[in-house]
Structure 1
Amino acid sequence: MLPGTVYNFGPDAFPFIDEDAPQHPVTRKGAIRVEMEKRLQRASKEGARVLIVRAGDFFGPKAGNNWLAQGLAKPGKAVTKITNPGARGIGHQWACLPDVARTMVELLAHHHSLDAFARFHMSGHWDGDGTGFADAIRRVVARRTGRAPAVVGFPWWLLALAAPFNVTFRELQEMRYLWTTPVHLNNARLVQTLGHEPHTPLDVAVEKTLIGLGCLTPDVRASISSHAS
């Protein structure tokens, strides 16, 4: 099983991408991903069974390094400002990590009917305006704290200056193209196979993520209400 990314694709596959779209990456990470999947495909012709579930930018309570934790909010700190890497009017796709896990588990239950080299795309949380995800963080924080944080633009210019001296900044800068054009995965094959796509409501997923990052304290009242019911 491999959680796939959109790094495999270049502008020739944008904006609405299905599983059989050409993979012409424009970044180093993308080239590595393409080669990895080619090797898995060769292995599937020699008896291995492969399942690739591709999704947008991951986020979740324990998602590790991701744009939410590296850009929009700061782990371990209250959210007083949201730094949005996107631009108004440019759609962007997000994926709640627990939804990706549930999708993989449900697909494994259908493994007898899947191809030896099976690929599926998730739609996840599509932010069609480019501001919806930041707005969801703002809503959640305002509801929990009574204060709505400001939303500011991501300092891409600073990354460009620091990129020659910092590998992480260089790789983040390399991925900027994914924030300047809509990139949306087509989940028709997944829905046809499962009949649905596992989907946590955006505000619920964002709240759990912020709690997991230590940006919000757990909602004790909600926990007590849940146990009581």
Structure 2
Amino acid sequence: MIYENNANSAENDRPLALVLGVNGGVGGQVSRMLQQRGWRVRAMTRRKAASHITGDVEFVVGDAMSGQDVLKAAQGVRLIVHAVNPPGYRDWEKQVLPMLDNTIAAAESCGARIIFPGTIYNFGSDAFPLLSEESPQKPFTRKGALRVEMERRLKLASMRGVPVLIVRAGDFFGPDARNNWFSQMLVRPGRPVRSVQNPSARHAGHQWAYLPDVAETIGRLLDRADELPAFAVYHMEGFWDFDGLQLIEAIERVVGHPVKRRRLSWTGIKMVAPFVPLFREVLEMQYLWQMPIRMSNRKLTDFLGSEPKTPIDIAVATTLAGLGCLDERPQLSNLAHPADAEGRA
């Protein structure tokens, strides 16, 4: 049942996309990107949409765990964005595969392409430190094994005629995105930044992905959809924090003063993990902060010519403003755009 419809009710020839997970960071940004490219967007949610979801979006009530709900919501669409996760990351292993199976079945039924945001979790230490799309996938975590299985099912679907586009990226951050390391560990949404909690081991580099850049990358690939293979996989480079301190220094430049730097207590997380499901998930990802791991974007840039990259200070300022961590919105034109160690702005 449709409970809110901001879209023009008149029929038109613009393509229609279904976004699953529109209230999340990836889904919300991809929804915006699609609208900017002339797509109509339908979003299936369990609850009313978050306030930051604006524009011509048709909202329908449904549960990604219900195949019938997804199939009904997918009627007439040419694209399904699978950006949905279990609520609160609970029962991950029980829900992620059934939800994906429902998306695949709906895509097969309506002839839609599937967009799937990928992660670094697929890979194990045998593939570190530089990952390509062809690197062996031998994960040593539960979440990593599930990611591999999800992509295996998507590849099988592509062999049955469902086009699939996977874009893998580092840890997400961005405005209106609150379920990520940046907003849950580094800073506290709704509060001025006085201190930063750093999960990285000393001198361990880390890869970040600014969500508007992720969405724009997906958009540019979709612009050339006719040239994509049935199963297309691309890696983004994003922002490479070569020593685990560059993102914190960007935060300091944006807020205009030094911040207290604290190391995340992994020992403390280990102690409470048996009692807090979220911390169990966090603990499983500790290895990603202990060593430098990054993705090569050579395949992406060979195809597109370049990767969309917002200067890091602007990305951080926009994110902090969106999270309510700045007293006033900064003048982006006044921010410095320092290059990283390899000379990229």
Q: TM tier, shorter chain?
A: over 0.9
What does residue 301 of structure 2 align with? Answer: 191
What does residue 2 of structure 1 align with? Answer: 116
Larger radius of gyration: 2
Q: How far off its partner does 1:134 sit?
A: 1.3
Distance 1:199 1:156, change over 3 A: same
Task: Name stretches of at least 5 consecutive residues in structure 2 with no aligned partner.
Answer: 1-114, 335-345
| SS class of match (1:6) | coil
The list of structure 1 runs, each at least 4 consecutive aligned residues, that deviate by more than 2 angstroms after superposition, is: 217-220, 222-225
What does residue 41 of structure 1 align with? Answer: 155
Q: How far off its partner does 1:217 sit?
A: 3.5
Between the two proteins, the alignment pairs up a number of residues equal to: 220
The answer to whether the 8 Å contact 1:9/1:30 transfers is yes
What does residue 214 of structure 1 align with? Answer: 324
The answer to whether the 8 Å contact 2:122/2:137 transfers is yes
| SS class of match (2:154) | helix
What does residue 126 of structure 1 align with? Answer: 240
- Inter-partner Cα distance in structure 2 for 1:224 and 1:154: 33
The answer to whether the 8 Å contact 2:202/2:244 transfers is yes
Q: How far off its partner does 1:136 sit?
A: 1.1
User: 2:203 matched to 1:89?
Assistant: yes
Superposed CA RMSD: 1.5
The answer to whether the 8 Å contact 1:72/1:82 transfers is yes
The answer to whether the 8 Å contact 2:206/2:289 transfers is yes
| Amino acid paired to 2:325 | C
Q: How far off its partner does 1:87 sit?
A: 2.3
User: 1:70-114 CA distances to partner (integer Å, 9 max, x unpaired)?
Assistant: 110001111110111112311100000000000000000111111
Distance 1:223 1:140, change over 3 A: closer
| Amino acid paired to 2:150 | M
| SS class of match (1:2) | strand
User: 2:126 matched to 1:16?
Assistant: no
User: 1:137-170 CA distances to partner (integer Å, 9 max, x unpaired)?
Assistant: 122112xxxx321111111111010011111111
Q: How far off its partner does 1:223 sit?
A: 8.1
What does residue 150 of structure 1 align with? Answer: 260
Task: Name stretches of at least 5 consecutive residues in structure 1 with no aligned partner.
Answer: none
| SS class of match (1:8) | coil
Distance 1:46 1:198, change over 3 A: same
Q: Which of residues 176, 181, 186 is equivalent to 1:67?
A: 181
| SS class of match (2:208) | strand
Distance 1:223 1:9, change over 3 A: closer
- Inter-partner Cα distance in structure 2 for 1:92 and 1:224: 27
Q: Which of residues 155, 163, 175 is equivalent to 2:285?
A: 175
- Inter-partner Cα distance in structure 1 for 2:137 and 2:192: 40
| Amino acid paired to 1:36 | M
TM-score of the two chains, using structure 1 as the length reference: 0.93
Distance 1:223 1:8, change over 3 A: closer
The answer to whether the 8 Å contact 2:192/2:327 transfers is no
- Structure (1/2) with the larger helix percentage: 1
The answer to whether the 8 Å contact 1:87/1:131 transfers is no
TM-score of the two chains, using structure 2 as the length reference: 0.62
User: 2:140 matched to 1:26?
Assistant: yes
The answer to whether the 8 Å contact 1:210/1:216 transfers is yes
| SS class of match (2:192) | coil
The answer to whether the 8 Å contact 1:122/1:186 transfers is yes
User: 2:227 matched to 1:117?
Assistant: no
| SS class of match (1:134) | helix
- Inter-partner Cα distance in structure 2 for 1:115 and 1:184: 24
| Amino acid paired to 2:214 | V
- Inter-partner Cα distance in structure 2 for 1:136 and 1:26: 32
Q: Which of residues 163, 168, 178 is equivalent to 2:273?
A: 163
- The share of aligned pairs that are identical, in percent, is 52
- Inter-partner Cα distance in structure 2 for 1:17 and 1:157: 29
